[in-house]
Chain A
Amino acid sequence: MSAPAASAVRNAAAAVCDPEFPGITIEDLGVLEDVRVGPGGVVSVDLLPTFLGCPALDVIAGDVEAAVATVPGVGDVSVRYLTAPAWTPERITAKGRDKLAAEFTVAIRRRDELSCPVCTSTAVEDVSPFGPTACRAVAYCPECRNPIEVMRR
């Protein structure tokens, strides 16, 4: 079988969604670092964990492996997590930012500024550095009175 196209392999990996943010891909989140296709269709994928203790790491790696394996010509697939460079919320793409805000009421602090994903007010108040997941803190918008979550670095 002929070698798989590198772009097709990358697209397959890039389309995998975060299990806790359906519709938001690992590419949107900046988790997908590198995809390499070697001789014999051997594929290696490098991912960056948002947090080392994230319970979704194995699930994401498994989903990436399964997605890449469906591309014709792909042989062995290996997925690994790198500890450098460190993932930061700046890695989230513009598309990812918009989707997180519009669909999940999750904000990203940019240049120390935080705007409310519901009403765009910048008067957002930090409430707790701990939210439902390791990667998110809790804040509150006094303008529209919605609790919101903020991606942590």
Chain B
Amino acid sequence: MRSWSSLDEFEAFIAADGIVEPVDDMPHQYRTELFRFIEMHANSELMGGLTERDYIPRAPGLVRKLGTLAKTQDEIGHAHLLYMVAADLGIKTRDEMLEDLYEGRSKFHNVFHYRVHTWADQVAIAYLVDAAALTTQQAVFKDCSYGPYRRILKRVIAEEGFHMRQGEEMLLRLADGTRAQHDLFQEALDRWWWPVMHFFGPPSKENDLLLRWRIKSATNEALRDRYVQKFVPQLHAYGFVVPDPDLHQDPATGKWVIGEIDWDPLRDTQANVGPDSARRIATARRGWDEASWVRDALEASAATAQGAG
């Protein structure tokens, strides 16, 4: 176990690429910032997994059904691992985190506050949203100062990369399909483009503790820009129109510049009053309540096994 006599000493350790482990006596504020960040990530994986789950019966064909099923397991599995890391920080138990989520008292990513209307929305999530998540997770993983989180992110990133590959294949199917299929994705893109821009977060605060302590390693603006440079040309190449009338290429640098972002929708999702927040949270709550008998049975079975052993 390591301990630091002052915050300055801790920050010097962080600045020298030190990795903090759960057994270390970390500064309280580092612990709370880290906890909030991982709790939100865990909540988002869970809410994302539930979105995915809704499409298992509706996926077109057996191959897509298998893919959707596996992706649901991935997201729920990621949430499980992340809740373990978060709970280990000793601020809230896993049950407390879930209770706060189901009571609308904690946050999850803005993109899961919107309604999924069609299969094309599901493809937009697999292709656009997963890529946005991957962009931010890679930036966290690159030099994250917290050991257990970094180790999980390595696997999460590998799995999200595989989802994107599936997402791109599903997108190609729609892009190269009939006019109706093409239009279906265009409509989904019209719905999801701005939420994805919001996903990277509002303009950076000055002295962001998450950056300072290497809980993440790039600003929201930098990550959004990285994403725009990569995905605008790809969407154009597939023949889609990005729903931003002010989107243009800077004549000097050749870089894509997006129009002004309206932050009101992001504020609504952060306050859990987005377009589909109430229904999403209620559905998650109902699922948790209805599955309580499974948890009870598992616990009873484990207790019996222990008694016998």
- C-alpha gap A67/B75 in the complex (Å): 30
Tell me how many residue pairs across A and B have CB atoms closer than 8 Å: 84
Query: Do B22 and A149 touch across chains, with their CB atoms under 8 A apart?
Result: no
Query: Do B77 and A133 touch across chains, with their CB atoms under 8 A apart?
Result: yes
Contact flag A22-B158 (CB < 8 Å), given A132-B78, A147-B148: yes
- C-alpha gap A131/B162 in the complex (Å): 16
Query: Does any Cβ of A come within 8 Å of B151's Cβ?
Result: yes
How many residues on A have C-beta within 8 angstroms of the other chain's C-beta atoms?
Answer: 30
How many residues on B have C-beta within 8 angstroms of the other chain's C-beta atoms?
Answer: 32
User: With a CB–CB cut-off of 8 A, which chain A residues contact B166?
Assistant: 55
Query: Do A55 and B67 touch across chains, with their CB atoms under 8 A apart?
Result: yes
Query: Does any Cβ of A come within 8 Å of B66's Cβ?
Result: yes
Query: Does any Cβ of A come within 8 Å of B147's Cβ?
Result: yes
Chain B CB within 10 A, most for which of A22, A128, A132: A132
Query: Do B22 and A133 touch across chains, with their CB atoms under 8 A apart?
Result: no
Query: Do A132 and B154 touch across chains, with their CB atoms under 8 A apart?
Result: no
Query: Do A55 and B88 touch across chains, with their CB atoms under 8 A apart?
Result: no
B-side interface mostly: helix
Which residues of B14-36 have CB atoms within 8 Å of chain A's CB atoms?
21-23
Query: Do B154 and A104 touch across chains, with their CB atoms under 8 A apart?
Result: yes
- C-alpha gap A54/B73 in the complex (Å): 11
- C-alpha gap A134/B44 in the complex (Å): 21
Query: Do B154 and A144 touch across chains, with their CB atoms under 8 A apart?
Result: no
Q: Can you name the residue of chain B whose Cβ is closest to the Cβ of A147?
A: B84
Min C-beta distance of A31 to chain B, whole Å: 16
- C-alpha gap A20/B154 in the complex (Å): 10
User: With a CB–CB cut-off of 8 A, which chain A residues contact B81?
Assistant: 131-132, 138, 147, 149
Query: Does any Cβ of A come within 8 Å of B222's Cβ?
Result: no
- C-alpha gap A59/B218 in the complex (Å): 32
Q: Can you name the residue of chain B whose Cβ is closest to the Cβ of A140?
A: B84
Query: Does any Cβ of A come within 8 Å of B85's Cβ?
Result: yes
Q: Which of B74, B88, B161 contacts A133 (CB 8 A)?
A: B74
Query: Do A145 and B77 touch across chains, with their CB atoms under 8 A apart?
Result: no
